[in-house]
Amino acid sequence: MLAQADTPTLIGLDLSPALPFVDKGSYFPEWPGSPADAPSLWKLIDELSGGDPHHAANIFLDHPEVARHFRVQGRPAGDLFSPRNGRLRRCEEAQQPMELAPSSCMKLIGANQVGKSSLTGMRVLHQLARRIPVWPFDPVPPAGPLIVEIYTSLAARDAGIPRGRSKMRDSGALDRALRKLGVDEPAKLDSYDDHATDAVLTAAWLRRNARRADLWHPHGIGDVAATEGWTFGVA
């Protein structure tokens, strides 16, 4: 129903919608079967992981050519995994001067890893079959829903929350942060865990910033829009 609605709806997903590409000119260097763009990547991940429940991508990671590029819990890093922390997308490199701390999608270990959820998200994006456009891979529609990649720390920072203290677990902290973003009405949640408060705060941030033209046309997006995508809010 949402895909068919005309109401402008901005949907933020806290995951990477693609893997690094531009640094090597390929998602999977040395593999002739490496996809040429993000939708082809989504299709590959979903097809290779078809036997995995809950949209997991474990079977994809077991593919011998894919495994060469990842560092996965319980086994040695692949021979083409970039040293230390793994490859970054162009927008993730742009996050570093903003004092953010992006994590490589190719590193699937550690508390701050985002690779597993990102691979699951890419399967979901493929199964949506473009019924809901995804920025910047698709044009911004004149009406209806649109999916964008978000980084919840951007919303927390704009709400005045100090770095390293962005996890809110009570109504008072959330309401104070929301007021910084122009929301005066208190939030009423059944549970104030950090996942729920992150979602509410980032939704308020998206509503406040959705009409900023500069965020839709960030510097450096031109040659990565089809392959890597971009985090909404990164200049």
Angle among Cα 209, 212, 218 to the nearest 5 degrees reads 110
Q: Which residue has the higher pLDDT, 34 or 4?
A: 34
Contacts of the segment 59-62: beta carbons below 8 A, 24+ positions apart? 60/119, 61/108, 61/119
Spatial distance between the Cα atoms of 88 and 33, rounded to a whole number of angstroms: 21
pLDDT tens track for 14-33: 999 999 999 999 999 999 99
Question: Is residue 231 one of the residues assigned to a domain?
Answer: no
User: Out of 91-95, 121-125, 202-206, 219-223, which region has the weakest mean confidence (pLDDT)?
Assistant: 219-223
In angstroms, what CA-CA distances link 4 with 7, 139, 146?
9, 16, 11
Q: What mean pLDDT value characterizes the chain? A: 93
Question: Is residue 64 one of the residues assigned to a domain?
Answer: yes
Given this model, what pLDDT does residue 36 score? 98
Question: Is residue 205 one of the residues assigned to a domain?
Answer: yes
Closest CA to 175 of 187, 167, 163: 187
pLDDT tens track for 151-201: 999 999 999 988 766 678 889 999 999 999 999 998 989 889 988 999 999
Kindly report whether the global pTM for this prediction surpasses the value 0.75. Answer: yes
Domain extent for 197: 2-216
Question: Is residue 234 one of the residues assigned to a domain?
Answer: no
Question: Is residue 221 one of the residues assigned to a domain?
Answer: no
Question: Is residue 86 one of the residues assigned to a domain?
Answer: yes
